[in-house]
Amino acid sequence: MKRFFFVSLALFAYAALLAGTVHVSTFHAYPDDGIDDTAGINQAIAYGDNNIVLFDAGVYDLITPVDEDRFIQISNQSGIVLQGATTVQGKPNTTLKRHLSVESMASPPRALYVFQGTGITVKNFTIDNTPHLCTSGEVTQKFSHGDGTQGVQVTVFPGLPVEPDMPCYAANAWDSVTLDLKEVESLTYTNSPGSWSIVDSANRIVELSCADGLDFYENIDSGDYISWHYGWNGLSQMEIAKTTGVILENLEIRNAVNIAILIGSSADVSLTNIAMAANGNQLSVGPRDGIHLSRCLGTIVASGLDINRVRWDGLVVRTPYAEVHSLTSPNRFNMAVEIKTFSQVIPTGSTLTFIDSSGELVERTVSTATPYQMLDDKSYYDVTLTSDLPIFAQQIGTHIKIGALAPTSVSISNSNFENIAGASMILLADDITVENTTHRKIMFEAIHMGGHTEEGVAGANIQIRESTFENCSWINKWGQPAGTIILYNGHAEVSEAKLRNAVISDNWFKDQLYETTIPAINVADVAGITISGNTFENVYKGMRFDTESTSGYNITSNTVIIDNSNNDMTYSELSGTFGYSGLTGYGGSSTRYAWWSGALAEWKFVAPKSSDYDVYVYVVEHTSSDPSALISIESDDPTSQHVIDYTTGVSGWQYMGKYPYTGQLLYGITNQGQGGGYLRADAVMLIQDN
Q: What is the pLDDT of residue 452?
A: 62
In the CATH scheme, what architecture does the domain 569-689 have?
Sandwich (2.60)
pLDDT of residue 4: 37
Separation between Cα atoms, residue 646 and residue 655, nearest integer Å: 14
Instruction: Provide the CA 645 distance to its chain's centre, in angstroms.
Output: 46
CATH-assigned architecture of domain 134-229: Beta Barrel (2.40)
Closest alpha carbon to 514 in 562, 474, 472, 471: 474
Question: Which pLDDT does position 7 carry in this prediction?
Answer: 36
List, in sequence order, the alpha helices (H) in 366-421.
Answer: none
SS (H, E, C) 189-210: CCCCCCECEEEECCCCEEEEEE
pLDDT at 498: 86
∠334-336-342 over CA atoms, to 5°? 110
Please check whether residue 679 is in contact with residue 601, taking contact to mean a CB–CB distance below 8 angstroms. Answer: yes
pLDDT averaged over consecutive 10-residue blocks of the chain (690 residues)? 38 42 98 98 97 98 98 98 98 98 95 98 98 98 95 97 96 98 97 96 97 96 98 95 98 97 98 96 96 97 98 94 95 95 96 88 97 94 98 92 96 99 96 99 95 76 98 88 90 68 98 92 94 97 90 94 91 96 95 94 95 98 96 98 96 98 96 94 95
**Cβ within 8 Å of residue 415, ≥6 positions away:** 302, 303, 304, 305, 306, 307, 436, 437, 438
Q: How many residues does the chain have?
A: 690
pLDDT at 566: 80
**pLDDT digits 0-9 by tens, 559-581:** 999 999 888 899 999 999 999 99
Q: What is the pLDDT of residue 628?
A: 96
**What local confidence, expressed as pLDDT, does residue 11 receive?**
32
The H or E element spanning position 38 is: helix 38-46
2-81+89-100+113-131+234-278+285-308: which CATH topology?
Answer: Pectate Lyase C-like (2.160.20)
How far apart (Å, rounded) are the C-alpha atoms in residues 85 and 87?
7
C-alpha dist (Å) from residue 616 to 234, 517, 589: 55, 26, 17
All structural domains of the chain with their residue ranges = 2-81+89-100+113-131+234-278+285-308, 134-229, 323-399, 439-556, 569-689
Instruction: Give 292's contacts (C-beta < 8 A, 6+ positions apart).
Output: 236, 259, 261, 262, 263, 313, 315, 316, 318
Which amino acid does the sequence have at 513? L
Residue 131: cis peptide before it, omega within 30 degrees of 0 = yes
- Looking at residue 496, its pLDDT comes to 63
Contact between 385 and 352 under an 8 Å Cβ cutoff? The reply is yes
Report CA torsion sign: 538, 283, 105, 202.
Answer: positive
Q: How far apart are CA 604 and CA 542, in angstroms?
A: 13
